[in-house]
Amino acid sequence: MLKNLVNFYLISYAQRRVKEIKETYANPFGLQKKALLSILDKARYTEFGRQYDFKSIKSIARFQNRIPLFRYSDMQQWIKKTMEGKENVLWPGRIWNFALTSGTTSGNKYIPISKELLIANRRAAMDCLAFYLTESNGYSLLNGKFLFLGGSTSLKRLKSGAFSGDLSGIATHTMPFIARFMYEPGKKIALISDWEEKINKTAQKEVDVDIRGISGIPSWLLVFFNNLLEEASKRCSKEVHTVAEIWPNLSLLLHGGINFAPYKDIFNRIIGKDIYYLETYPASEAFVATQDKKDEKGLLLMLDYGIFYEFIPEEEIDKENPTRLTVADIEIDKNYAIVLTNNSGLYSYVLGDTVKFISLNPPRLVVTGRIENFLSAFGEHLIVEEVEDAVTYACNKTDSEIEEFTVAPLFPEIPNELLCHQWLIEFRREPTNIEEFTKYIDERLRERNDDYNVHREREISIGKPKIVSLEKGTFYNWMKSQGKLGGQHKVPRLKNDRSIASELLNLTLAKP
């Protein structure tokens, strides 16, 4: 009876909420202005609010003139006070939770998580479910379990009495009662911090559970699925080839964090049935966007979570006074660094991601990379989106599949040898002709990037890419050596130096 009531509530909520979301895009600028002024009004008596005189800011233009862009290092002194237990520093009252995230340039970062931000994140999770239910009519999802393959839910208690840990851990500890009916793998396993132990225990438990939805980063989901298939094969003393043989009712895979395109064919094959893939763009600082249509490219920018967004042309992000655009000013097919002011004490905060809008009404975006995560050792300025697209194109053309990859500059060691890019790839299924694979990589990059094409003209500046096929498990072992197994950790796709490439090559002998 209780389960039926829960299902009725969720179905009613989904229908009502999707209609409400559509209405928010009638006046996106007005909604964003309201969000900003609400944040400033709530925080006007905090230390930060008094220093920047939030009380006198009544417009977006004045806010942008007065509040500079902040990176984590700029906010660190304020966050440290908050972590020590001081009230009313960045946000009214006391902050009790801090999401621990690995910064690529500044080490570990602690992001304040207020009650308001937690509520917004819960709403975002419900919205993902709402979009799925209304798009697919997949209400049978509610009759089974949902597996969250996140980081450890174990939280560390700070001296101040506050808690820090993985955002998934904070979310699990504050999970609403209604969601606990569907949640797996359960508290005991979710608390395990050792990633390898955790996926083994999860596979052992969930092989007999009616899992109908699963969430995680694609690269780690593949590792888990391999463990699951091994466990199921041991149980029934015969080879189990697909996830569908174990979970015949699986209907939804929620993913985010990295581009799914290079993995799509692998997932189709390993799952063994047609399911709904729903992409999200969650960050510790805010849940930014989600896929609202099954066959629609791009993620819908969510505007009613109490977050104010600004967009800086990527080429201006390091300028002293960059152009700061709102949702009303953005253009299609331009790369922007995303900046946010949230309901947890971050103001004009440079998130670090770059995005590109593919539609404006409503605003849909694709994540194109990181501000510091590009390759321009030779002036070619390749971004993550372009290399991911190129490897997907090459895989499709050669009927091959990749597990992981990264790209680095390769400098000549002998006279007259050209500079080039070295692609370190761990194949799940290798192309029969690596030269053909290389040709398609190069061809696609030349189509997508004018600077790269100019450098490749007549091979005067940059030579053709060089592919190195790494032994199976190389990237997994490298991530393990970095202490970055599982959770939100991802392999960097691009690096302007050879630090990652050298470590990978030293870790295992590359195939000839």
pLDDT in tens, 488-511: 788 989 988 898 999 999 986 544
Q: Determine if the peptide bond prior to 363 is cis (ω within 30°).
A: no
Model confidence at 230: pLDDT above 80: yes
In a domain, 62, yes or no: no
Cβ atoms of residues 295 and 136 within 8 Å = no
> Is 397 found in the same domain as 266?
no
Q: What is the pLDDT of residue 112?
A: 97
> Is 246 found in the same domain as 384?
no
In a domain, 435, yes or no: yes
In a domain, 464, yes or no: yes
Which has the minimum average pLDDT: 97-106, 111-120, 345-354? 97-106
Q: Which among 255, 282, 309 is the end of a domain?
A: 282
Q: What is the pLDDT of residue 174?
A: 65
CA–CA dist 385, 374 (Å, integer): 10
Mean pLDDT (whole number) for 284-289: 95
Cβ atoms of residues 312 and 302 within 8 Å = no
In a domain, 189, yes or no: yes
* DSSP-derived 3-state class of residue 202: helix
Q: What is the pLDDT of residue 510?
A: 45
CA–CA dist 45, 235 (Å, integer): 61
> Is 262 found in the same domain as 148?
yes
Which has the minimum average pLDDT: 133-137, 229-233, 307-311, 423-427? 133-137
pLDDT band with cut points at 50, 70 and 90 for residue 312: very high
Model confidence at 4: pLDDT above 70: no
> Is 394 found in the same domain as 277?
no
**Dihedral in degrees, nearest 10, Cα atoms 55, 56, 59, 63:** -80
Question: Phi and psi dihedrals of 137, rounded to 5?
Answer: 55, 35
Averaged confidence pLDDT in the chain: 89
> Is 147 found in the same domain as 265?
yes
Q: Which among 282, 299, 329 is the end of a domain?
A: 282
pLDDT in tens, 177-186: 556 677 888 8
In a domain, 458, yes or no: yes
pLDDT in tens, 379-402: 788 888 899 999 999 999 999 999
Model confidence at 487: pLDDT above 80: no
Model confidence at 135: pLDDT above 60: yes
The half-sphere exposure of 225 on its side-chain side, counting CA atoms within 13 A, is 24
Q: What is the pLDDT of residue 294?
A: 84
* DSSP-derived 3-state class of residue 231: helix
Give the highest mean pLDDT range of 101-105, 173-177, 221-225, 508-512. Answer: 221-225
Write the CATH number for 130: 3.40.50
pLDDT band with cut points at 50, 70 and 90 for residue 106: very low
Question: Phi and psi dihedrals of 364, rounded to 5?
Answer: -120, 140
In a domain, 17, yes or no: no
> Is 386 found in the same domain as 272?
no
Sheet-wide strand order for 156-157: 107-113, 97-103, 163-165, 156-157
Q: Specify the number of domains making up the chain.
A: 2
From residue 196, give the alpha-carbon distance in Å to each of 40, 189, 203.
44, 12, 11
pLDDT in tens, 38-49: 999 999 999 999
Q: Which among 232, 257, 282 is the end of a domain?
A: 282
In a domain, 73, yes or no: no
> Is 133 found in the same domain as 268?
yes
> Is 381 found in the same domain as 276?
no
In a domain, 493, yes or no: yes
Percent of the chain with pLDDT over 70: 94
Which has the minimum average pLDDT: 8-22, 51-65, 260-274, 350-364? 8-22
Q: What is the pLDDT of residue 105?
A: 43
> Is 478 found in the same domain as 378?
yes
Model confidence at 250: pLDDT above 80: yes
Give the residue numbers spanning the domain of 466: 374-507
